[in-house]
């Protein structure tokens, strides 16, 4: 059982927007602005797409955005493209050098 809760699946049609949630507690998501999101295509290593809740690394399209409210963080993918089909994982700093991950969400582009 993962420390952070994500929906197992999400879907949307090309051009649409989809939002994936990541729910924790005040000991992790709610307590720190250190939430990250990762994209993982099959057979590949995860890739960082969001850090510090809302920031994008260089090279990540602005179609990817992050937010947080209370103990729940969210990733929104706008203008869905076929290549966005992947698994998405959230993570959060949980104090005392610990990091916890979500169980992952499989995004399907219909």
Partner 1 sequence: QLKLQESGPGLVKPSETLSLTCTVSGGSITSIGYNWDWIRQPPGKGLEYIGTIYSGGSTYYNPSLKSRVTISIDTSKNQFSLRLSSVTASDTAMYYCARRDASDAFDIWGQGAVVTVSS
Q: To the nearest whole angstrom, how small is the minimum distance from the Cβ of residue 58 to partner 1?
A: 10
Residues that bind partner 1 (CB under 8 A): 2, 34, 36, 38, 45-48, 51-52, 55, 57, 89, 91, 93, 96-104
**What is the DSSP secondary-structure string of 33-71?**
S-EEEEEE-TTS--EEEEBTTTB--TT--TTEEEEEETT
Q: To the nearest whole angstrom, how small is the minimum distance from the Cβ of residue 16 to partner 1?
A: 25
Which tokens hold the place of 46?
């995860």
User: Which residue, 36 or 71, has its beta carbon nearer to partner 1?
Assistant: 36
Say if CB 57 and CB 51 are below 8 A apart: yes
User: Which residue, 17 or 48, has its beta carbon nearer to partner 1?
Assistant: 48
Q: To the nearest whole angstrom, how small is the minimum distance from the Cβ of residue 74 to partner 1?
A: 17
For residues 53-65, b (16+ Cβ closer than 10 Å) or e, as one string? beebeeebeeebb
User: Which residue, 14 or 57, has its beta carbon nearer to partner 1?
Assistant: 57
């Amino acid at each position: 059982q993962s420390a952070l809760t994500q929906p197992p699946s999400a879907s949307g049609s090309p051009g649409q927007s989809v939002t994936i949630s990541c729910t924790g507690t005040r000991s992790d998501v709610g307590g720190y602005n250190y939430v990250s999101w990762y994209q993982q295509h099959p057979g590949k290593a995860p890739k960082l797409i969001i850090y510090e809740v809302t920031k994008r690394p260089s090279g990540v399209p602005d179609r990817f955005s992050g937010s947080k409210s209370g103990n729940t963080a969210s990733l929104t993918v706008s203008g869905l493209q076929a290549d966005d089909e992947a698994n998405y994982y959230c993570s959060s700093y949980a104090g005392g050098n610990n990091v916890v991950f979500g169980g992952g969400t499989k995004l399907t582009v219909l």
